[in-house]
């Protein structure tokens, strides 16, 4: 089977001059009469940063949150475009439940997004594999967001909106992992029988048909604690850059995957989600298939990092080893569960 899916990559070398990025930010903030809360130079000192993000204040003392594109790039443009599309739909359809969990987009153009300011605590940081601050008490609210995302009518999205169907899953499983080239590496961790089962997925017409028929639901795409803001009893989802149309409850899987730093949170969240949501047999197959594909990819990412980071910080290296061990166990478990169901 020919894999047709492709993912555009960001060329970080395009960000050659932080000073020009700083001038761009200064000009946009000046045009909007906004004052940043932090030094602009400090925010964009990282040469791999593709967006400037910060809290800003207008002349009347009102606060907002701004996201400014630092350089022109097809993928970068598309990310901003998706944020604008979703917010326009929410504005035009105030009855949608997702409105209760999303900061309002106040103004935008091709270079920036300006949101209403939500004062709250980020439930995760973007440091090494995310430091998760989410607590068990947050699970009901987080599950409510997942449900609101699923109920968002994908029919309102434009036809060019990204779709994550069968080819996307197979791309993750066999292309992003460099499966053919690095099969000898996988043989160190998976049995030949397990790899035969994995390879058998590529030409499984039953699964392909099931995915294509059911990849019709909206998802946040990057549903992790660092993209959730808690304000008192309310939690807001931010950063819809990776949103797409795909399988039902994809965000449930994403949150599960990034909760390895807190095993109890991971276990309880999944159990709570499964308890509150009634899954059909097909839903369960699709969830397990997607979960396995993502776990397999993450295992490969961790293998590569472990093999290239022997001289890194011992603490980080040990964290990666523990993460890999946990994800490897889960990948094998869900592979077997998938074949039990099909």
Position 6 scores a pLDDT of: 43
Alpha helical stretches, state H, 38-165: 40-43, 74-92, 139-151
Measuring CA to CA, how many Å separate 194 from each of 135, 242, 297, 299, 302? 35, 31, 15, 14, 19
Q: In the prediction, which pLDDT does 172 show?
A: 93
Looking at residue 320, its pLDDT comes to 82
Q: Which residues contact 99 (CB under 8 A, 6 or more apart)?
A: 90, 93
Q: List, in sequence order, the alpha helices (H) in 61-132.
A: 74-92
Q: How much is the pLDDT for 266?
A: 75
pLDDT of residue 228: 92
Per-residue confidence (pLDDT) for residue 47, from 0 to 100: 59
Q: What is d(CA 85, CA 74) in angstroms, rounded to the nearest whole number?
A: 16
- pLDDT tens across the length of the chain (342 residues): 333 444 444 454 455 567 788 888 999 999 999 999 888 887 777 655 678 888 999 999 999 999 998 876 677 788 888 999 999 999 999 999 999 999 999 998 888 999 999 888 888 876 655 578 888 888 888 889 999 999 999 999 999 899 999 999 999 999 999 999 999 999 999 999 999 999 999 999 999 999 999 999 999 999 988 889 998 778 999 999 999 999 998 998 888 887 776 777 777 777 766 666 777 889 889 999 999 999 999 999 999 988 876 555 666 778 788 889 989 999 999 999 999 998
User: CA angle, 286 as apex, 280 and 291 as ends, to 5°?
Assistant: 125
Q: Which residue's entry shows tokens 């993928």?
A: 75
Contact in structure between 69 and 80 (CB atoms under 8 Å): yes
Residues 116 and 102: beta-carbon distance below 8 Å: no
Q: Distance between CA atoms of 287 and 35, rounded to whole angstroms?
A: 45
How many other C-beta atoms can be found within 10 angstroms of the C-beta atom of residue 262?
18
What pLDDT shows up at residue 8? 43
Q: How far is it, in rounded angstroms, from Cα 14 to Cα 37?
A: 27
* Among 232, 109, 88, 105, CA closest to 152: 88
């Amino acid at each position: 089977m020919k894999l047709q899916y492709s993912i555009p990559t960001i060329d970080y070398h395009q960000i050659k001059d932080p000073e020009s990025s700083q001038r761009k930010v200064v000009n946009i903030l000046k045009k909007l009469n906004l004052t940043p809360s932090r030094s602009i130079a400090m925010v964009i000192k990282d040469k791999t940063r593709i967006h400037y993000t910060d809290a800003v204040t207008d002349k009347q003392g009102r606060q907002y949150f701004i996201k400014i594109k630092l350089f022109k790039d097809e993928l970068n443009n598309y990310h901003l475009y998706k944020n604008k599309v979703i917010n326009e739909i929410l504005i035009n359809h105030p009855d949608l439940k997702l409105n209760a969990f999303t900061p309002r987009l106040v103004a935008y153009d091709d270079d920036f997004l300006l949101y209403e300011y939500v004062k709250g605590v980020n439930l995760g940081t973007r440091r090494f594999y995310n430091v998760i601050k989410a607590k068990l008490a947050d699970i009901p609210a987080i599950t409510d967001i997942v449900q609101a995302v699923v109920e968002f009518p994908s029919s309102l999205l434009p036809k060019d909106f990204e779709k994550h169907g069968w080819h996307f899953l197979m791309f993750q499983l066999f292309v992003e992992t460099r499966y053919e080239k690095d099969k000898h590496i996988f043989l160190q961790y998976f049995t030949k029988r397990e790899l035969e089962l994995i390879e058998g997925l590529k030409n499984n017409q039953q699964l392909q048909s099931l995915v294509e028929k059911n990849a019709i639901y909206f998802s946040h795409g990057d549903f992790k604690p660092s993209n959730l803001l808690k304000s008192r009893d309310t939690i807001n989802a931010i950063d819809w850059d990776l949103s797409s149309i795909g399988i039902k409850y994809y965000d449930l899987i994403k949150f599960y995957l990034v909760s390895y730093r807190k095993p109890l949170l991971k276990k309880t969240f999944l159990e709570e989600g499964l308890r509150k949501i009634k899954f059909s047999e097909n839903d369960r197959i699709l969830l397990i298939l997607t979960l396995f594909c993502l776990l397999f990819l993450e295992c490969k990412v961790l293998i590569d990092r472990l093999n290239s980071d022997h001289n890194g910080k011992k603490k980080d290296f040990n964290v990666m080893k523990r993460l890999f061990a946990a994800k490897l166990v889960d990948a094998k478990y869900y592979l077997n569960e998938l074949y039990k169901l099909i």
